[in-house]
A and B are shown apart, each in its own frame.
Chain A
Amino acid sequence: MDMAGTKSNSQAIKVRTICVTVVMVFLAIISLLPVYILIVNATRTSQQIVESGVSLIPGLNLFENIKNLNALSEAGTVEYNALRGYLNSAVIAFSTTFLTVLFSCMTAYGLVVYDFRFKNAAYTIILAVMMIPVQVTSVGFYQFMSKLGLTDSYFPLIIPAIAAPSVVFFMRQSMKSTFPLEIVEAARIDGCSEFRTFFTIGIPMMKPAIAVQAIFAFVANWNNYYMPSMILISRNKEQLTLPMMVNTILSNEKLSDYGVRYVSIFLSIIPVVIVYFIFSRFIVEGVALGGVKE
């Protein structure tokens, strides 16, 4: 777009730019402030937090707080065990991400590459169910799982990840616009089996879409509080995910060390914050495009 402005116009633009920048800086500060306050409080002693409440100057007590948290956890006073939490959340997040991405790719591939009678019906069903909120089915899901004796197990948290309608939708969109079907034909002529074609040609060609979906799936599953708290009813210490452990800290009225309280929340968000800042450009673009390459 060419600048059509005159001199007086450019003066006005300058003023507007300054005003807008001020608002943006303000909103950026608001966006970061709660996390910053969390970090500051995680580095202060309980005494300091109780005395001054909120501060912008970090303390020096981060490692001491982590040590205290671990000591309390070993003594059994708190159910928050950071390493255990990381491990449990990672097991669930990695396996669900893997299943979601692999089977969504497969389903999308089946819908794009092959022609079969119920193809459009299958796709319509996927579109229709995409918007059903999990809260609507959770009573039925929970009762079903408790009848099968599967509560307190990771099975109901991981296996359903195979069916992720919205991810299938994205994968199909991106395949439709980027995947050359001739390449499948060529592979067939060379005698490549259908599954081998999928794994050696299909998956590598979908890599960009897979990366975006994998990041979103990982973050969503790592952050998920609803499903684990619904299924892991015994609140077995060994099984808790990080968000559930944060919850035990919150409801623990005996825990009077505020440094420990804040550091436990701090430890729970550090992994996603790191993942975010590594992939941020990618993630923001993914949201803008809706994961679809055009």
Chain B
Amino acid sequence: MASGSNGKIRSISYARYGYIFILPFFIVYAIFQVYPLLNTFYLSTQSNGSVVTESVGLQNFAAILSGSGGRAFKAVHENFIRVMGNTLILWFGNFIPQIVLSLLLAAWFTDAFLKIKGKGFYKIVMYMPNIITAASVAALFVMLFADSQFGAINKMLMNMHILDAPKNFVTGQTTSRVIIMFIQTWMWFGNTTIMLMSGIMGINPSLFEAANIDGATPTQQFFQITIPLLRPIMLYTMVTSMIGGLQMFDMPYLFNMGTAQNRHTETIAVFIYNHFHNLKPNYGYSGASSVILFIVTAVLGGICFIFNKDDDPKAKERRSSKAALKSKLGGL
């Protein structure tokens, strides 16, 4: 190792600094991320309802996934299915309007022929909901839509004689879900718009020019050029959004607080949290559902990776950096 050119010796002698610089990251990462992950896997095989646990093998997984083996297990299974359903419904209901809206906006923002004044202003205003404390937003909407006649929206609709009696917006199945979908869309459409915009700006402008000369209408251009060429980035947005959707916590959790419990908006993240965040924690159920969530996320992440692989490295790097930003912001 010591032999070799002068340059090589130098690069070897500095190598230890490389380790020193990255060491703190990996130490902290090992203690606060890797160990907790392994611990989660361990806890998934442990018993429930007590701080001191004992091994139960794969019983928790059997209970969650099939509900076989007793009444209590069946209840856990049914709850798990319910919260997974809620999670999917809430994700789907915010993703569809979000992607449609964002696609339209992104196409308009990047359209060179449209002379829209104050584009920068619109972008700033539309991104704003994304940075506001999610917990505060949830509290605001719970208060505005509160079930009694003291709820602001109920009162307003009653004053306008649209409603005779207060409606249960926050506890009702459809209304509570629609409110959460609206909040999530409201919070994330600006972000998705900006991401899709940089995707559109990556499309070769001569394609649009040629289409224009050939007399293609803006609608034709949108469906024949923009959408097909954006497909990879849209699929990618969808998958990262799905991973984000699986983590949805603040909004549904706070909809469960306050006046009444709401079973229609409880998500998988809330389910996991409620099981371990107890005086007598159900570490087993919580751990097992975390492991299931982990596998689902890993599969989705793998799909992302495959999409990414076909592209040129530069687009790939750009895109994964955006996804990272999104996930850092607790993205959807």
Contact = CB atoms under 8 A, between A and B. Distances in A.
A135 B43 CA distance: 14
Given A31-B129, A261-B143, A287 B191 contact: yes
A254 interface: no
Interface string A91-133: 0000000000001101101110111111100100001011111
B142 interface: yes
A164 to B, nearest CB: 8
A265 B39 contact: no
B40 A137 contact: yes
A283 B121 CA distance: 13
A1 B111 CA distance: 11
B286 interface: yes
B92 interface: no
Contacts of A3: 113
Given A135-B269, A251-B257, A27 B126 contact: yes
B143 A28 contact: no
Contacts of B156: 52-54
A110 B153 contact: no
B161 interface: no
A57 interface: no
B139 A31 contact: no
B37 A137 contact: yes
Contact of A139 (B125, B191, B272): B272
A170 B318 CA distance: 10
B327 A53 contact: no
A143 B39 contact: yes
A75 interface: no
**How would you classify the secondary structure of chain B's contact residues: helix, strand, loop or mixed?**
helix
B297 A133 contact: yes
Contacts of A164: 328
B174 interface: no
Interface string B16-54: 111111101110110011011111111100000001000
A206 to B, nearest CB: 13
A194 B122 CA distance: 46
A253 B259 contact: yes
Contacts of A63: none
A110 to B, nearest CB: 3
A280 to B, nearest CB: 4
Which of A53, A173, A226, A283 lies at the interface centre, i.e. has the most chain B CB atoms within 10 A of its CB? A53
A62 interface: no
A242 interface: yes
A61 B329 CA distance: 35
Given A114-B21, A116-B19, 13 more contacts: A1-B205, A4-B209, A50-B155, A113-B18, A122-B26, A131-B304, A132-B33, A144-B36, A162-B25, A250-B258, A284-B194, A287-B325, A292-B317
Interface of A: 1, 3-5, 13, 16-17, 20-21, 23-24, 27-28, 30-32, 34-35, 37-38, 41, 49-54, 103-104, 106-107, 109-111, 113-119, 122, 127, 129-144, 146, 156, 159-160, 162-170, 173, 194, 198, 216-217, 219-220, 222-223, 225-226, 230, 233, 242-244, 246-247, 249-251, 253, 258, 261-262, 265, 268-269, 272-273, 275-277, 280-281, 283-284, 286-292, 294
